[in-house]
Structure 1
Amino acid sequence: MAQWDVYWRFQDGTPSLESVTIGGPYSAKGLGDTPSRRRIFLCRPARSEDEGPCARAILSTLARRAYRRPLNGTDIERLLGLYKAGRGEGSFEAGIGEALRGILVSPKFLFRVERDRANRAPGAAYRLNDLELASRLSFFLWSSIPDDPLLDLAENGKLQDPAVLEREVRRMLADRRAKALTENFFGQWLQLRDVRSAQPDADTFPQFDENLRDAFLEEAELLFESMLREDRSLLDLLSANYTFVNERLARHYGISNIFGSFFRRVTLSDENRWGLLGKGAVLMLTSHPARTSPVLRGKFVLENIMGSPPPPPPPDVPPLKENASEGKKLTVRQLMEQHRANPACASCHARMDPLGFALDNFDPLGGWRTSEANSPVDASGVLPDGTRFQGPVELRKILMSRKEQFVTTVTESLLTYALGREVEYYDQPAIRKIVREAGSSGYRWSSVVLGIVGSTPFRMRKGMEPAAVAGLP
């Protein structure tokens, strides 16, 4: 057992190792016996003549899982060759270890291969076979390889049956490995992975520490995991009236009578905290180190909730002047007036800034405030269509009134995650169908996931164009 002390030295997130403390085992004798070793060593040869068949059984099982398909004769013979080389220099376990290293560095394990069909026109679409579908499904829901039940169904050609496929999706969503979906999808879609590298200004926020950073991440992961596990509506991402806190986070949010470092589910009496727009992780990521940013927060709402990202900013935009001519510190709203006075910036900021202003009662760490720069916080906004609102509660009500727009945005992002590519114009009919059919269930997570798995983009693949093939090494 070893304890690794790792800290983030550079702002680019480069890890640096400070120390390693070895805590045992000491004077170990004989072969180890751990759950992971038992999963590898399906048999233990008692005699030398049993070693070959046992090695074949172990390596056949491991390679089938790792390559995500049935093995052919060449596959197993190569691995047995590695085993024999390792066995010749050491023990039976050393031979298996050598072959296992061969599996782990094989392109058949490292790459997910979806081969173009023979006699197909270049660029033509074709349906994935069962084994390809099993891999696409397992990496979508688990970020890992298919398990034996899924692989067995694929080998027997049963995954194309809609009833069988639905049963497998529901089984996989109920499995603990589906936690990878919430961690990885939300980490990418909402950029929650950047929480680890965010650096609030230490002089402005001396109360910020690593415990609060960890709590922001844990809260978000537990919240999203509960939504998937309980098969809640996607709309709860905006309107959930509960969250998960420990003592450190509860104190930061102003929630009383929470003690201890463990997280527990609490009902939020403050409607400003409902949904993802009231969460510290999101609010910190959409702020500058020392002040809030209506631009970043407004851009976040436009991109991730409304699905209408603004265009890139024009080049050579001058930096904002933080202080007025008389030296008085300006509020964020006063700073933003400088952008809106620039004709090249005004049109986009008219869309973004009001959405961000609605969240300005939250400071850069997500703490609630009522004043800024000795002036009351003005959290009012006006949308381009003339709709007026005040604060996060009224903004959320506006967003909830456009629920289909929000669900479509989440569905597009989830389909992008599932496919490993950006959605294209030809994917839009499938997205509309998924959203329309999920509406009958109140947009539950299972309905959207099942819609994606059964969709044409997920079940089919477009062959490579001649130019792309020619560019391959």
Structure 2
Amino acid sequence: TRLPARTPREDRSGLDLLDADYTFVNERLARHYGIPGIYGSRFRRVALPDREQRGGLLGHGGLLALTSYPTRTSPVLRGKWLLDTILAAPPPSPPADVPALPEGGEGGRTTSVRERLERHRQAPACATCHASIDPPGFALEQFDGLGAWRTADEFGNPIDATATMPNGRTVAGMAGLRALLLERPEQFAGTVAEKLLSYALGRGLEHVDRPTVRAVVRDAAADDYRWSALIAGIVKSPAFLMRNAAPAD
């Protein structure tokens, strides 16, 4: 995907990864996204005609396909990806004996993925984790398994992309989910800062690194979380400057 590469190069806000009003397409991808007037194999930057359907990583076709199964979408995979990658709050691993979700419903009934997951969540061992994993995935259900926009699933069931988040807020579709995430921009900026700091230090982060992340995010807020501000905060931090210091005896 070109968006994560271009936003640092152009020193845009890190929030563009969530809220970009543009994307990069060639003719084939533009057709997949429903963007008219694009011809040829060359990728070029285009303004998005419909911000309800695309914008940032949440509407990126490749990521939506990656978080689907070959035959259907997966709110669970998409929700887990969002918790892992966007919010840096990975859910716990599932129990070993969790049954697979039935394909196509039970007894030949063509129930939606949402209906099957709601039945799955009735098991006490599944309910707690799915309460946080499923809602963001449900909000992305208007994208099929290849990331194309849709209004009905593979069985013809109308898509319900509303979702009640763990905090009780209800969102509608990708645009509603994006708006909710942007209400607390420091949360996503913190995720970006964590990943940058981990890369800069060459190791995973520990509890003692949390103050550094918070300081980087706090200082970068004044510059709209631009990449230059995030990176400058990291390279000036004691954690980075002392990364090769010998441990005290």
Could you tell me which amino acid in structure 2 is paired with residue 421 of structure 1? R
Assess if the C-alpha contact under 8 Å between 2:105 and 2:112 holds in 1.
Answer: no
SS at match of 1:438: helix
Distance 1:431 1:458 in 2: 11
Structure 2 counterpart of 1:392:
174
- 1:319 Cα deviation after fit: 1.4
Bigger Cα Rg: 1
Question: Residue by residue, what CA displacement relative to the aligned partner does 1:231-260 show, whole Å, maximum 9, x if unpaired?
Answer: 110111100000111101011111111111
Distance 2:237 2:224 in 1: 19
RMSD over aligned Cα atoms: 1.5
Assess if the C-alpha contact under 8 Å between 2:105 and 2:116 holds in 1.
Answer: no
Question: Residue by residue, what CA displacement relative to the aligned partner does 1:146-189 show, whole Å, maximum 9, x if unpaired?
Answer: xxxxxxxxxxxxxxxxxxxxxxxxxxxxxxxxxxxxxxxxxxxx
1:417 aligns with 2:196: no
Assess if the C-alpha contact under 8 Å between 2:26 and 2:38 holds in 1.
Answer: yes
2:147 to 366, 374, 384: 366
Q: How does 1:185-224 map to 2 (within 5 A)?
A: 220-221=1-2, 223-224=3-4
Q: How does 1:57-96 map to 2 (within 5 A)?
A: none
Q: How does 1:114-193 map to 2 (within 5 A)?
A: none
Distance 1:420 1:450 in 2: 17
Structure 2: segments with no counterpart, 5+ residues? none
Assess if the C-alpha contact under 8 Å between 2:83 and 2:89 holds in 1.
Answer: yes
Structure 2 counterpart of 1:340:
121
1:231 aligns with 2:18: no
1:404 to 170, 186, 190: 186
1:284 aligns with 2:65: yes
Distance 1:463 1:288 in 2: 48
How many aligned residue pairs are there? Answer: 246
Could you tell me which amino acid in structure 2 is paired with residue 445 of structure 1? W
SS at match of 2:23: strand
Could you tell me which amino acid in structure 2 is paired with residue 446 of structure 1? S
- 1:297 Cα deviation after fit: 0.7
- 1:456 Cα deviation after fit: 1.4
Distance 1:445 1:456 in 2: 19
Assess if the C-alpha contact under 8 Å between 2:84 and 2:90 holds in 1.
Answer: yes
1:313 aligns with 2:90: no
1:302 to 77, 83, 91: 83
Q: How does 1:321-336 map to 2 (within 5 A)?
A: 321-336=102-117
TM-score w.r.t. structure 1 length? Answer: 0.51
- 1:306 Cα deviation after fit: 1.6
Structure 1 counterpart of 2:136:
355
- 1:464 Cα deviation after fit: 6.3
- 1:463 Cα deviation after fit: 4.2
Assess if the C-alpha contact under 8 Å between 1:339 and 1:349 holds in 2.
Answer: no
Could you tell me which amino acid in structure 1 is paired with residue 10 of structure 2? E
SS at match of 1:371: coil
By relative contact order (CA 8 Å, sep 6+), the higher-ranking structure is 2
Distance 2:81 2:188 in 1: 13
- 1:324 Cα deviation after fit: 3.4
Could you tell me which amino acid in structure 2 is paired with residue 254 of structure 1? G
Could you tell me which amino acid in structure 2 is paired with residue 364 of structure 1? G
SS at match of 2:45: strand
SS at match of 2:197: helix
Percent identity over the alignment? 54
Distance 1:330 1:455 in 2: 53
- 1:465 Cα deviation after fit: 9.6
Question: Residue by residue, what CA displacement relative to the aligned partner does 1:8-39 show, whole Å, maximum 9, x if unpaired?
Answer: xxxxxxxxxxxxxxxxxxxxxxxxxxxxxxxx
- 1:323 Cα deviation after fit: 3.5
1:264 aligns with 2:44: yes
Q: How does 1:2-13 map to 2 (within 5 A)?
A: none
TM-score w.r.t. structure 2 length? Answer: 0.94
Gap change, CA 1:463 and 1:317, over 3 Å in 2: farther
Structure 2 counterpart of 1:202:
none
Could you tell me which amino acid in structure 1 is paired with residue 221 of structure 2? G
1 or 2, which has the higher helix percentage? 1
Distance 1:449 1:311 in 2: 30
SS at match of 1:319: coil
Structure 1: segments with no counterpart, 5+ residues? 1-219, 467-473
Assess if the C-alpha contact under 8 Å between 1:320 and 1:338 holds in 2.
Answer: no
Structure 1 counterpart of 2:22:
242
